[in-house]
Amino acid sequence: MPLIDMPDFSTDLLAEFAARRTERVNTPVIQPAEPFLDMAGEDLRRRIFLTESETGANLCLRPEFTIPVCLRHIETATGTPKRYSYLGEVFRQRREGSHEFYQAGIEDLGDKDIASSDARAIGDATGILKALLPGRKLALTLGDQAVFEAVVKALGLPFGWQRRLIHAFGDMAHLEALLERLARPQPVTGLDPEIAELIASDNEEDLVARIDRTMQETGYSTNASRSPTEIARRLKEKLELAETRLDGTALLLLREFLTLQLPLAEAPAALAGFADAAGLKLGDAVSRFDARLAALANAGADLSAMTYRAAFGRPLDYYTGLVFEVTEVGSSAVLAGGGRFDRLLTLLGAREHIPAVGFSLWLDRIEAARALR
C-alpha cells in the first residue's frame, strides 16, 4: 500500500500517456541491485536503499524506472519499436530531504530514426507539462553526451583519460578537477621500487609474476580480488594517466567548448565554427545533432524556449547522446528530464542493439507548481 498519496492529476497524466499510444507498465518495487550499481552512476548509487535476499543476493528498493522497464522488456521478449509509460513510487534519498516520491515517464525503445524519436521525447515531455501546467512558460536545456565524447576523442587523449572525462560529463566540479590534473600532472608515489622498475621496463610477464608472488606471500586471495594480470595492467594505466599532460592549446580548446551556451537554433553553426577553428573532426555526433534540430523544427517545437549548453549532462551513466531537462521559466526546479541511452539494453542482456530514448516527470515538483497558480 502506498505510503504517500497519488498526485491528484494522475488521471489527466494517464490520459496524456494513452493519447501518445504508450503501453502502461509497472515493475516490482524490490529490484536486483547490480544493474543500478553497475550502470546508473555514482550520484544514484550512493542514494539507493539496499537490502539482501535470503540467499544473499543484493536487492534494492526501486530508485528509478528506466532500468526496470528495460529489464522487463528484455525478459518478456517483446518486439520493437515499443513505447512504454509508467507511473509509480520510487525510493531514493534526495537533496530535498524526501526519500519516497512518485515518478512517471515514457521509454521509447527500438525506433531506429534517432532524430525523430529524440524530437518526439522532447515534444512529449514539454507537451505533457503544458497540459498539466496550462499557461506556464517552460524552458528546456539540452546537452549532448555524444558531442562531448567526440571532442574528447578528437583531442587524442589516452583511452583511460577519455573514459574518465566522459564519465564526469555533467558534473562540472569533477570535470574541472580532472582538467586541473591534466594541466598539472602529479607523480604516483608509494610504489615498491622493484614494481615501479618493472612497469617502467614494460616487462608485463615479470611484473605479473612479482605481483602474484607478493599476493601469495601476504595471503591475499585472488578469488576475492583482481588477478595479478588485472592489477598489473591497472598499475600501468594509472602511471600512464598520472604522467599524461594535456598541452595548453588542447586544454584551452576543451574549456572553450565547455563554455558554449546559446539558443538551440544557433548551436549547429557554433559547433561547426568551433570544430573548424580548432581543427577537430567531430563527424557523426554533429551530424546527429543537426538532424535532431531539423526534426524538432519539423515537429513545430518552440526552439526559442530551448538552450544548448555544451557542459550540460545528467547524473546517470547510461546516457549516450541527447540529454535534456525542462523547468518553468523563473524556477530552478526540474520538472522533467531524460535523454538517449542506446547502450543500456545491450548491457542489460538484450541479444540485439536496441536504440532507446525516454524521460521522467517529477510529479511532486509538478504538484507544487500547480499549487502556485
Under 8 Å CB-to-CB from 297, ≥6 apart: which residues? 303
Under 8 Å CB-to-CB from 134, ≥6 apart: which residues? none
| CA dist 178 → 27, 39, 161, 184, 254 (Å) | 38, 21, 9, 10, 12
Count how many residues are written for the chain: 373
Has 76 been labeled as part of a binding site? no
Q: Please give the sequence-ordered ranges of beta strands (E in DSSP) within the chain, or none if there are none.
A: 23-24, 30-32, 50-52, 58-61, 82-91, 100-109, 138-144, 261-263, 306-309, 322-328, 334-340, 356-362
Has 34 been labeled as part of a binding site? no
Q: Which residue has the cell 568551433?
A: 274
Pick left, alpha or beta for residue 59 (phi over 0 → left; psi -120 to 50 → alpha; otherwise beta): beta
Has 64 been labeled as part of a binding site? yes
Has 216 been labeled as part of a binding site? no
What whole-number distance in Å separates Cα of residue 215 and Cα of residue 317? 33
Q: What are phi and psi of 236, to 5 degrees?
A: -65, -40
β-sheet bridge partners, residue 358? 107, 339
Has 103 been labeled as part of a binding site? yes
Has 101 been labeled as part of a binding site? no
Has 72 been labeled as part of a binding site? no
Has 66 been labeled as part of a binding site? yes
Has 352 been labeled as part of a binding site? no
Residue ranges of the annotated binding site for L-histidine are 64-66, 92, 103, 107, 314, 318-319
Residue ranges of the annotated binding site are 64-66, 92, 103, 107, 314, 318-319
